Amino acid sequence: MNQVDYLRISLIDRCNFRCQYCMPEGAELDYILQQQLLSYEELLTLIEEVFIPVGFTRFRLTGGEPLLRPRVVELVGAIASLPQTQDLSMTTNGFLLARLAQDLYNAGLRRINISLDSLDPEIFEQIIGNRGRSRWEQVWQGIQAAYQVGFNPLKLNVVVIPGVNDHEILDLAALSINREWHVRFIEFMPIGNSDLFGDRGWVASEELRQRIRSRWGLTESQIRGNGPADVFKIPGAKGTLGFISQMSECFCDRCNRMRLSADGWLRPCLLNETGQIDLKTALRNGVKPAELRERVRELLNIKPEINFKQRHSGTTGVYTRTMSQIGG
């Protein structure tokens, strides 16, 4: 089991997209009220007085869409300025990135992941659930802005959906050839949307690798990420190709992360909430940081026993929250 030193922090559960794999059509979403969100002051208290002392040094800001949260640049600067912060990154849909990329970089953010599920604007609109309102171009401008500002690595996340965008795999992989971009193919996870794309809602990473290998060849990359991706490289390419295979190849034994929801729940796993802790309520009730640290350490101790597929397979109950409510 890897050392757990990586915390994904959801800043908000709202998003300006409604991606089908994240917020399925017809899903009833009960958004968190403003006063129920962890304030930035509370979040910084938890980072400085709880998480860093127990060993967390790497942080990723997620959502919903994190760039919707007011004062996000200010928060990035505060976390980046902490001497113990070894790595700070963000996952975004890129829609608001063109105007914020420079400010985020100046504040100390250096790594960014941007969702780009299709190079075809029509398919892109179908996936994000905003038909009739073209948003692909603005996302592409956000990617270009992040690249020009100097984000490195700049990663593009692709959720592969059979019959929808899987025919674009080679075109998306080609983005890594001439630019130092890192394309990550993610197996679709049936969370609250298991009947969305038919009986088989995901394409195995090995199948994708075989397609790419047949076109260009494929070698293992020496560049490793902070997460569960298996990283490869097209020979001679400037960037890399990552494969996140949570459905076909369980990687729980390599997991090095926990998740903090926008309303302050610390969870050990994407799909298994065993032992979760309500840190926000405890903090607002005056529980001292020393006691919160002990609670977090207890959760860290049981994390090696927690497997996300136990939840998915139904052994610990039916999972009803959407990906946007989990924090991605």
At residue 317, the pLDDT reads 38
Q: What is the pLDDT of residues 37-86, one digit of tens each?
A: 999 999 999 999 999 999 999 999 999 999 999 999 999 999 999 999 99
pTM higher than 0.85:
yes
Domain range 6-326, CATH class: alpha beta
Cβ-proximal residues to 79 (8 Å cutoff; 6+ apart), any chain = 44, 47, 59, 85, 88, 108
pLDDT band at 314 (very low <50, low <70, confident <90, very high): very low
**If you average pLDDT over residues 306-313, what whole number do you get?**
51
Q: What is the pLDDT of residues 210-221, one digit of tens each?
A: 999 999 999 998
At residue 76, the pLDDT reads 98
At residue 302, the pLDDT reads 85
Rounded-to-10 torsion of CA 246, 251, 254, 257 = 30
> Following DSSP, what letter does each residue of 123-142 receive, concatenated?
HHHHHHT-TTS--HHHHHHH
Backbone angles phi, psi at 192, to 5 degrees: 70, 10
**C-beta of residue 258 within 8 angstroms of C-beta of residue 276:** no
Q: What is the pLDDT of residues 190-232, one digit of tens each?
A: 665 555 555 556 889 999 999 999 999 999 987 666 667 899 9
